[in-house]
Amino acid sequence: MEIPFYTCPYNNGKKEMNGHKQLSPIFFMGCLVFITLLLNLSCDSSKVTGTLENTPADSSPVNDSNAGNSTTDRQAVDNPNEENPEAVREVLEGIRTEANAAWWGFDENDATRELQSAINSGAEKLIVPNMGKDWIVRPINLVGEMELVFEEGVVVTAKKGEFKGTHDRLFTARNVNNLTIRGYGAIFKMQKSDYQNSSLYTKAEWRNTLILGGCTNITIMGLTFKDSGGDGITLDTGTYLRDNINIHIKDVVCDNNYRQGISIIGADNLLIEDSYFINTSGTGPSSNKLLIRIPSPVMLVTRQFSNLTEISSASGLFKLKAKRIPGPALS
């Protein structure tokens, strides 16, 4: 096939220039397209080769459909101690099972709404972080089916001027099941001196730091309960005078409480170990630990105490044996 020539306008229409035949522009365009295709193929090949060279020989294909779906992966990219509405939404929808209370926000003047909302979120594990300032709150209600973790250095403080009710408690768990409260190095504290001021508060002895009533499978570890207007910890009865069942308290400190370090009113299968009950004073009986009324005719059940320490109390009482005080019979 004869390759067509073009007519050079600078040589009077002849098909030669300086003695050489001139090729058609179509030929040049075809060559350019061919070279471009070769270059593209070469680049694509090098990309594939580079990818293969950088892939470990024993690596397996990754299912991208699950990428980023794990709680751990998402938490790695979140700033855990900042307000995070998207993370809150995922907790409420059940996508996340572990949550950080700071995702609901942190009001250094009154964090009740944020902390209570986090507790009510349905998370299986809730971390209350150390924000560098106290979590100042009004009464908080606890829920079950949760591990509640207070980071080291966290201080949850009863808000001054609040807790006017004679039975207002810092934390209350009523008829709750399967709850672990862990807080090594964390403190729950109230405003004992204010509650003793009759010009500010009605006299009462029930402003406890923590009360459990009719709860089952509860573990409390590592926390300090101090400066209450009642007991550090109260194990009360619940609905229909139901005892607390399967309670484990370990490594706690109850310090400078108003009535008792701990009052045990209703408990079945209770273990308290490696704990301190100290500096109780304010109102009778002012003992660091006291086992009191078991409603008749309920029988006393298993209670174990191991390595407990009492330093001082106003009454000098530190009773390890349960005593029965007449109370209302169960219907």
pLDDT, averaged across the chain: 79
Secondary structure (DSSP) of 111-171: -HHHHHHHHTT--SEEEE---SS-EEES-EE--SSEEEEEPTT-EEEEPTT---STT--SE
Do residue 150 and residue 294 come from a single domain? yes
- 205/46 Cα distance (integer angstroms): 79
Residue 49 within a domain = yes
The residue type of 304 is Q
Q: How confident is the model at residue 318 (pLDDT cuts 50, 70, 90)?
A: very low
Q: Which helix (H) or strand (E) holds 36?
A: helix 25-53
Mean pLDDT value of segment 207-215: 97
Burial level of 264, CB count in 10 A (0-12/13-18/19+)?
buried
Residue 23 within a domain = yes
* Residue 229 DSSP symbol: B
- 329/294 Cα distance (integer angstroms): 10
Residue 227 within a domain = yes
For residue 316, pLDDT over 80 is answered with no
Do residue 51 and residue 160 come from a single domain? no
- 139/53 Cα distance (integer angstroms): 61
Q: How confident is the model at residue 314 (pLDDT cuts 50, 70, 90)?
A: low
Secondary structure (DSSP) of 77-112: HS-TTS--HHHHHHHHTTS-SEEEGGGG---SS--H
* Total-model pTM: 0.70
Residue 264 within a domain = yes
Q: What is the CATH number of the domain that holds 285?
A: 2.160.20.10
Say what the pLDDT of residue 51 is.
45
Do residue 188 and residue 49 come from a single domain? no
Neighbours of 25 (CB within 10 A): 10
Of the three residues 20, 38, 55, the one that is the final residue of a domain is 55
- 290/234 Cα distance (integer angstroms): 10
Residue 78 within a domain = no
Do residue 33 and residue 150 come from a single domain? no
Q: How confident is the model at residue 23 (pLDDT cuts 50, 70, 90)?
A: low
207 three-class SS: strand
Q: Who wins on pLDDT, 99 or 27? A: 99
At 255-311, the pLDDT tens digits run 999 999 999 988 889 999 889 989 999 998 776 655 444 443 333 445 666 766 655
For residue 321, pLDDT over 90 is answered with no
Say what the pLDDT of residue 53 is.
45
Residue 97 within a domain = no
**Encoding tokens for residue 190?**
């109230």
Choose among 322, 208, 320: nearest CA to 273: 320
Mean pLDDT value of segment 232-254: 92
Do residue 172 and residue 305 come from a single domain? yes
Say what the pLDDT of residue 241 is.
85
At 139-167, the pLDDT tens digits run 999 999 999 999 999 999 999 999 999 99
Question: In this prediction, what percent of the chain has a pLDDT beyond 90?
Answer: 54
Say what the pLDDT of residue 284 is.
80
Do residue 164 and residue 305 come from a single domain? yes
The residue type of 119 is I
- 194/191 Cα distance (integer angstroms): 6
Say what the pLDDT of residue 296 is.
35
Of the three residues 55, 73, 94, the one that is the final residue of a domain is 55
Do residue 305 and residue 172 come from a single domain? yes
Residue 148 within a domain = yes
Choose among 215, 224, 293: nearest CA to 247: 215
Checking 155-161 for CB contacts under 8 A at 24+ apart, the result is 155/186, 155/187, 155/189, 156/115, 156/128, 156/186, 156/187, 156/188, 156/189, 157/189, 157/190, 158/189, 158/190, 158/191, 159/110, 159/112, 160/191, 160/194, 161/194
At 163-209, the pLDDT tens digits run 999 999 999 999 999 999 999 999 999 999 999 999 999 999 999 99
Q: How confident is the model at residue 59 (pLDDT cuts 50, 70, 90)?
A: very low
State the total domains in the chain: 2
Q: C-alpha angle with apex 74: 70 to 78, nearest 5 degrees? A: 165
Residue 128 within a domain = no
Do residue 167 and residue 262 come from a single domain? yes
Q: Which residues contact 319 (CB under 8 A, 6 or more apart)?
A: 287, 289, 290, 291
Secondary structure (DSSP) of 290-302: EE----TTPPP--
Q: How confident is the model at residue 12 (pLDDT cuts 50, 70, 90)?
A: very low
For residue 73, pLDDT over 90 is answered with no
For residue 63, pLDDT over 50 is answered with no
Say what the pLDDT of residue 31 is.
66
Mean pLDDT value of segment 311-325: 42
Say what the pLDDT of residue 125 is.
98
Say what the pLDDT of residue 309 is.
67
Q: Who wins on pLDDT, 33 or 91? A: 91
Say what the pLDDT of residue 40 is.
67
Q: Who wins on pLDDT, 263 or 32? A: 263
Do residue 202 and residue 299 come from a single domain? yes
- Provide φ and ψ at 143, rounded to 5°: -125, 170
Q: Which domain holds residue 3?
A: 1-55
